[in-house]
Chain A
Amino acid sequence: MQTHLATRTLKGTQKPNKDVQALFAVQPNRKAILFIHGFSGDAIDTWSDFHGLLLECPKCTKRDVFFYGYDGLRAEMNASAAIFREFLDWFFNSTKILLNENLPQSAPRTNDFEYDELIIVAHSLGAVIARRALLDATNNKSNWVAKTKMILYAPAHKGANVVDLALEVASSFSFLKLFGIGARFTSPLIDELKPESRSLKKLLEDTKTATKNGTNLHLIACKVVLAEYEKIVVNDIFGDDPAPYAIPETTHTSVCKPNRDFLQPFSHLEVCL
């Protein structure tokens, strides 16, 4: 049975110019899931079979699903967060326009349709960008922030050494790391993601301030999932985030890549729906 319309690249006159893939539910329940990839990832490829598994999961049949893409290789981190925040503003405040411009005429939604919940599933750098975007939106008094939740896979919020990862994930030639690729690669992210970098320290301070006295709980992750053989990010707990889960036999890149024979990354999301 078909639960979602065909995958489409989101278009829109006011939408930030980023690659966002959307799967609109046939019978929507005003809830959505948004995936945001990490360093050097791709809107959909990062998540491997998440796409297919979601379509077969009973808990997802009525949820809209979005895969957000951005330049995770060269763009400056706070700039990426600002663009993502703009996207979320558009997503929540211009929902009617978003739907009119992207749904086929024969699949309209009611005029009063709006999203009540958005689960942001973020990997690696995506976790930093998502939290920064939500923090800034909170400071801007955006009223939609309370509708969001974060589930983080191998988050880079306590720092990461992305040099070795540069081309391992930037191309399909997984063996390129054997050729000293990292030494040739320059990106603002290399410094920004260093443990104790100014950007990351500020992210932690701002989050602590915003969540003081139990407020703004959307800035605290619902769940954090780590890789057993993590070599890229620092696996320390960030602020008041919950104690993490770890998936055995996974690496930084495989921790968010479920398939039909390896469902653990998917199951961690499924229980939160």
Chain B
Amino acid sequence: MNLQQANFEDLITTYYYGTSAYEAAGHLVGLITREQSQPLATLLRDYRKRAVNMPSEIKFREAVDDLMICCSAMELASLIGFIPIFQQTDFGSKILLILENKYVRLYYEEFYPTKLPQLLRCRLAGAHHVINGTELYSNFMAFLALDRRFMEKLNNCYLLRMLDSFTIKEYRFSDVVNLLSTPNKFIELLLVAPDKRDVMSQTLNEFSSLMQFCFDLRKLLILTESQPLFQSAIWNHYSYWFQIIGKELSEQLGEALQQFIKWKPVINNKDTINTIYCYVTKAKAVLSELTSNNYSIPVDDLLDELNYEVLDFEIIYILKPALGEDVIKEVTDKVLGIILTYKGECFRLDDWGVRQLAYPIKKYAKGRYCYLRFNGRPDLIGEMERCLKLDENVLRYQRNIITKESVAKIPSFVEFDTIEVDEDEEVSEDTKKMATKEF
């Protein structure tokens, strides 16, 4: 048995063919391959600029949301090697085509910024990132079981849509809060048999399911805390609810939970009041934690890493003129160490020796010029500059990003052979400008 392939089939069956993700993909691929940008831009528009009210548009966007959930689950599974690399499959090519489309990207990167589809795009484009560890599989299985319950009991049902500001058959979430102020009515509706439930009784049952889901998700996140990236990815799978509309969700559910504290138990003593108070406090704490962004960082960092373009840089730094070889080596080791730490690559390191400065810097007329060329991500150069700025042996530095156009202008020694000035001579403003133009 090819286990990874079996897992892939399972996930595709559940998240792609088992939801409207499949229809959304078909529709999107059609629009993209026929280069119908305008309909695509309209369908996936920013809802804040132009509201989405037409039922057909709402349905289409819900299908696109299912597709993003599918991408998110596939990324989570890929992250731990639960499924094979699938970029060469028809499914993989189709998903990459969709995820790379400009309008689809706006939808999942800006309008509803969900991270796992972004990671999947990077993965399908060739940036494979896999984590290993014990218990990853069993925890992933626990995630699948939890997510199955979420999909069946909550996704595309009433409560979450109400929390997302939708009105369902004239009911809004505020009606749920109002109803919670009357315990008898609440209990009566909660007991209605599944086949006889109306909007409110169904919503109240979903409220119970959602709170249980929050407790269980929190439990799973604790279970996975030794794998922060995996933990973060699980949380990100639900980031629409706990991050994008997390604040509203937490406030609204908090307000609903608060109603329980006003209830008068049949046995009205300290213990019973305390039981309710403990439940509400615990539930609010869990909600607060799930919506706090505490879990977002590892996935954000990975995404930043994958999104950063590797650039070519050059730095010329000037050391004090009379430093001993050991100090010069120390500075050199430090800058090379930064390149190594940030996974950059050094191409050239030249010591141009002690030269006359264009004008005195920190009262030095001469300085030792060093030239360094390397590549790396922007955070590398940030750290490099910070290090050079703090080093008292460095008089000045200049860095450039090397573009194709500037390759021809790679500095030669001559270009940096600066204007000769006497150390005690006053430097004119023009000379300073010329010098600072170089540095």
- Give residues in A with beta carbon < 8 Å to B: 1-2, 4-9, 21, 23, 26, 44-45, 51-52, 55-56, 74, 103-108, 166-167, 170-176, 178-181, 184-185
Contact = CB atoms under 8 A, between A and B. Distances in A.
Contact of A6 (B135, B141, B193): B141
B292 interface: no
Given A6-B7, A9-B148, A185-B191, A1 B1 contact: no
B275 A178 contact: yes
Nearest to B264: A179
B187 A179 contact: yes
B159 to A, nearest CB: 13
A73 to B, nearest CB: 8
B190 A171 contact: yes
B111 interface: no
Given A172-B215, A185-B191, A7 B267 contact: no
B9 interface: yes
A175 B271 CA distance: 11
Interface of B: 1-3, 5-7, 9-11, 13-14, 82, 135, 137-139, 141-142, 144-145, 148-149, 183, 187-188, 190-191, 193, 205, 208-209, 211-212, 215, 260, 263, 265-267, 272, 275-276, 279
Given A7-B145, A179-B183, A179-B263, 4 more contacts: A6-B7, A6-B10, A26-B1, A170-B190
A172 B191 contact: no
Nearest to B210: A172
Contact of A2 (B3, B183, B209, B276): B3
Given A104-B10, A176-B187, A179-B187, A171 B208 contact: yes
Contacts of B135: 56
Contacts of B266: 178-180
Contacts of A7: 141, 144-145, 148
B279 A175 contact: yes
Contacts of A4: 141
Contact of B187 (A74, A107, A108, A181): A181
B78 to A, nearest CB: 14
Nearest to A107: B6
Given A6-B141, A56-B138, A74-B193, A184 B6 contact: no
Contact of A5 (B7, B193, B263, B275): B7
A1 B136 CA distance: 9
A52 B142 contact: yes
A129 to B, nearest CB: 19
A172 B141 contact: no
Contacts of A103: 6
Contacts of A26: 1, 3
Contacts of A176: 187, 190
B59 to A, nearest CB: 24
A116 B208 CA distance: 40
* 8 tightest A-B CB contacts, nearest first: A104-B9, A172-B212, A107-B6, A171-B208, A178-B265, A106-B5, A104-B6, A106-B6
Contacts of A179: 183, 187, 263, 265-266
A93 B2 CA distance: 28
Contacts of A2: 3, 7, 82, 137
Nearest to A109: B1
A75 to B, nearest CB: 10
A103 B6 CA distance: 8
Contacts of B209: 172
A8 B145 CA distance: 8
A175 B144 CA distance: 29
Contact of B1 (A51, A106, A170): A106
Contacts of B272: 175, 178
